[in-house]
Amino acid sequence: MSNQSNNFIAGDWVQGTSSIANINPSDTNDIIGQFAQASNAHLDDALNAAQIAQKEWATTGLEQRQAVLMKIGEEMMSRSSELGELLSREEGKPLAEGKGEVYRAGQFFTYFAAEVLRQTGDTADSVRPGIEIDIRREPMGTVAIISPWNFPTATASWKIAPALAFGNAVIWKPANLTPASAVALTEIISRQDIPKGLFNLVMGSGPSIGQTLAESPKVHAISFTGSYNVGLQIANAAAKNLTKFQLELGSKNPLVVMDDADIEVAVSVASAGAFGSTGQKCTASSRLVVHEAIHDEFVERMHQSTSALKVGHALEEGTQIGPAVSQQQLDSNLNYMSLAKEEGCEIVCGGHQLELEKPGFYMQPSLLIGGNNSMRVNREELFAPMACVIKVADYDEALTVANDTDFGLVSGIVTKSLSRANHFRRNAESGCVMVNLPTAGTDYHVPFGGRKNSSFGPREQGSYAKELYTQVKTSYISGGNP
């Protein structure tokens, strides 16, 4: 068949009713392929097959389940170069980051492979003599997974792996901007010894197939990562059926730089957090909250470092910053640059569109100063390679500014003072805190998530993942008379 990639439904690769072109954001002349869009009928086939397959999977031996997850993870790790290149080609992150993401995604599978064998429950004596109580976790049933384009393989993997590990069936709706990496991961899963219909890929746009999936009464749990506004729609859809759900949303992460900071550490941490993946990270530090005593030196050093960053084709050697993912994202970034100027920020460097050899959505990363925390650019998630410095007089003001946000995924501080670092760690209103480390960059064996408008529901990753993917059953057992 032509170069169209299909959906994986009820154990078969199924053509769509229409298709979309997947464009390389580093070179818009490079079309990666056509990707099938699933219809509501396809989705229904997937949901019906999942219901049957899940029952079989939940009673499949633990070692078999463990082996399947292990194989998926090992294949992803061993093919991380090839699959990372595909990811970088369609998403635009530099090749090393694409490869790293696929390798990390593999680690989620091997981690949860082990977790399959760590599923233990509790027992208790009843308050009524002669009766025993057994408390165990059971799978939810069919889980809907809706993932974003910015970490297309990692976010999906940290949901798919625990869903399967804990005995569930999966319907995966990836972002339409990054279908190739979704098909690649599905292809690996499709070759495993699992019941037909246990794992389904339904590609299509969020407002159509995504919304229908979230609204389906055949779904027993929803795991969503994406924007705040779409998260609210998912919450409304889930509430109508009382479907259990979890949301990982946007943020507006602060990095505090104290007067006693090691300047080298401060600049490298700020630069990685603000500009890594072109700023397209939920963990990006777009607010740099800087003590006035170190402000000018920090800005000077950040200026040098930011101007030196090499923007280029994601697959080209030496590229440090890739393009924005799409024309729409680039337009949004440039609009935020105009807004920053209107609101009174001073542009130290960057912020303009770049014309490179290949036509792509390129922009020079930008450092802005003179801003305050009530400006829209310091309150809304930008998802752009833009960092705004907010000058503060002391630690107390820094902490107040850091916490003065509707979001709360990650907060960071650069300081040599242990007592300040500890105070910040204890008082930051965020789900994750980084001390002398970039706000972006987390491990896979510990919980990840935020507070306020950044998250809702149970934490993801590590053993905490079981809170979404399982439900508790309490059984009372009387032996009768001996």
Q: What angle, 0 to 180 degrees and rounded to 10, lies between the N-to-C axes of helices 152-165 and 62-78?
A: 170
**Binder of residue 90, out of Mg ion, ligand NAP, none (CB less than 5 to 8 A by kind):** Mg ion
Interacting residues of 176 by C-beta distance below 8 A, sequence separation 6+: 20, 35, 149, 203, 204, 205, 206
Which residue, 290 or 324, is less far from ligand NAP as judged by CB? 324
Contact 116, 161 (CB under 8 A): no
Rounded (5°) CA angle 326-331-335: 150
Instruction: State yes or no: residue 151 binds ligand NAP (CB under 6 A).
Output: yes
Query: Binding string to Mg ion for residues 22 to 41, with x set by CB under 5 A, is what?
Result: x-------------------
Query: Binding string to ligand NAP for residues 92 to 111, with x set by CB under 6 A, is what?
Result: --------------------
Provide, rounded to whole angstroms, the least separation between the CB of residue 178 and Mg ion: 6
Which residue, 192 or 332, is less far from ligand NAP as judged by CB? 332
Q: What angle, 0 to 180 degrees and rounded to 10, lies between the N-to-C axes of helices 179-190 and 80-91?
A: 150
* CA atoms of 465 and 453, how far apart (whole Å): 20
Size of the site for ligand NAP (CB under 6 A): 32
The region of 82-90, 124-132, 137-145, 314-322 touching Mg ion under the rule CB under 5 A is 82-90
Catalytic option among 248, 381, 460, 467:
248
* 360 alpha carbon, distance to own chain's centre: 24
Rounded (5°) CA angle 189-276-263: 140
Which residue, 160 or 349, is less far from ligand NAP as judged by CB? 160
345 is catalytic: no
Instruction: Write out the binding residues for ligand NAP, residues 162-191 only, by CB under 6 A.
Output: 173-176
Provide, rounded to whole angstroms, the least separation between the CB of residue 215 and ligand NAP: 8
Residue nearest to ligand NAP (CB): 206
Rounded (5°) CA angle 285-290-293: 160
Instruction: State yes or no: residue 90 binds Mg ion (CB under 5 A).
Output: yes
Provide, rounded to whole angstroms, the least separation between the CB of residue 22 and ligand NAP: 11
Provide, rounded to whole angstroms, the least separation between the CB of residue 180 and Mg ion: 8
432 is catalytic: no
Instruction: State yes or no: residue 207 binds ligand NAP (CB under 6 A).
Output: yes
Instruction: Quote helix, strand, coil % in the chain, to nearest 5.
Output: 40, 25, 35
**Binder of residue 244, out of ligand NAP, Mg ion, none (CB less than 5 to 8 A by kind):** none
Strands 366-371 and 346-349: antiparallel
- Count CA within 13 A, CB hemisphere, residue 416: 7
| Contact positions vs Mg ion (CB under 5 A) | 22, 90
